């Protein structure tokens, strides 16, 4: 699993930062969270072919989070995209995408499925993971997203070797949690296997502090959170329904997150080191993202 920060700026891009867009890569899935203007170029800089993208999760319909969609879809079409792009977003996403499609002819460019996420909780179930959404408190409908990997049952190789169990279908049954009979002995799956807890990645963008911030972030291995303003501008953050570095850090701390990555910085901050240091006061495992930053999870 890998995270690639394609853009880390807020409403306006800067020389150093593109609009906020993050890519989560997991096995054959490449899930794009938001699609700010210039995303197709950022993908090129990150050496990620656009046809690899499988899903687009839109947090909300403010321009800095979706202006990159037309260019991205054109890029995918020109590169012979042969999948069906799944697009999810808050209520109103289907209508908004239909309006964009009329202008840009998306339906003729690539195959896509667009869905409104109408309630909190699980909205997609896959073989190895599921996706959850939680409504936030912004000036328009906005969602937090959680990627949650399924727990995996692993084989204790030391015990297996001692028992002399060979590679093959028998091990496969044990890994599924099934008890087996081997050399006239019953082998209990829970004695020779263990559960490896799946990873949880949470994305919180464009919101004022609210209860769902904590619900979405609960026990996250990595919390990716907006930090539009520093602590001294907390009044402005509340007015525009955004988070400060302190807000993000306390969400991580109170939600038992393991690691916090700050993003979505106002253009007023050329250097976000102070914002990172502010967050560290309240949650030590905090760091500020930068464009094209990659994290192996």
Nearest to 289 by CA among 222, 192, 213: 222
CATH number at residue 26: 3.60.15.10
Point out the domain boundary residue: 135, 170, 194. Answer: 194
Inter-helix orientation angle 245-254/273-282, to 10°: 30
For residue 107, the model assigns a pLDDT of 67
Specify the pairing of strand 260-263 against strand 222-226: parallel
Annotated catalytic residue: which of 64, 206, 221, 291? 64
| Same-domain status, 111 and 251 | yes
For residue 177, the model assigns a pLDDT of 79
pLDDT under 50: residue ranges of the chain: none
For residue 196, the model assigns a pLDDT of 86
Range(s) of the domain holding residue 31: 2-150+199-296
| Same-domain status, 217 and 184 | no
Overall domain count for the chain: 2
Point out the domain boundary residue: 168, 194, 220. Answer: 194
For residue 125, the model assigns a pLDDT of 97
Count other C-beta atoms under 10 Å from residue 37's C-beta.
Answer: 21
pLDDT in tens, 112-126: 999 999 999 999 999
232 is catalytic: no
Distances (CA, A) of 56 to 4, 75, 193, 254: 14, 15, 36, 29
| Same-domain status, 92 and 174 | no
């Amino acid at each position: 699993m890998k995270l690639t920060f394609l853009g880390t700026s807020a409403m306006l891009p800067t020389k150093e930062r593109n609009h906020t867009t993050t890519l989560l890569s997991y096995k054959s899935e490449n899930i794009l969270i938001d699609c700010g203007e210039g995303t197709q170029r950022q993908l090129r800089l990150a050496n990620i072919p656009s046809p690899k993208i499988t899903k687009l999760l839109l947090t909300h319909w403010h321009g800095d989070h979706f202006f990159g969609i037309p260019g991205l879809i054109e890029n995918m079409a020109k590169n012979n995209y042969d999948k069906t792009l799944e697009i999810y977003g808050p209520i109103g996403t289907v209508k908004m995408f239909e309006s964009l499609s009329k202008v840009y002819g998306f339906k003729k460019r690539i195959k896509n499925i667009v869905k409104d996420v109408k309630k909190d909780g699980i909205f997609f179930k896959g073989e190895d993971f599921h996706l959850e959404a939680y409504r936030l408190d912004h000036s328009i409908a906005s969602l937090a997203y959680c990627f949650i990997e399924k727990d995996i049952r692993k084989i204790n190789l030391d015990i297996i070797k001692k028992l002399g169990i060979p590679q093959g279908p028998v091990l496969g049954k044990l890994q599924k949690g099934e008890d087996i009979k081997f050399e006239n002995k019953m082998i209990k799956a829970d004695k020779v296997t263990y559960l490896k807890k799946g990873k949880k990645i949470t994305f919180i963008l464009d919101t004022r502090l609210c209860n769902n911030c904590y619900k979405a972030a609960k026990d996250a291995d990595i919390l990716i959170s907006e930090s539009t303003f520093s602590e001294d501008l907390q009044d402005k953050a509340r007015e525009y329904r955004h988070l400060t570095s302190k807000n993000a850090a306390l969400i991580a701390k109170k939600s038992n997150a393991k690691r916090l990555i700050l993003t979505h910085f106002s253009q007023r901050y050329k250097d976000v080191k102070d914002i990172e240091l502010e967050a560290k006061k309240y949650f030590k495992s905090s760091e500020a993202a930068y464009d094209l930053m990659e994290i192996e999870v």
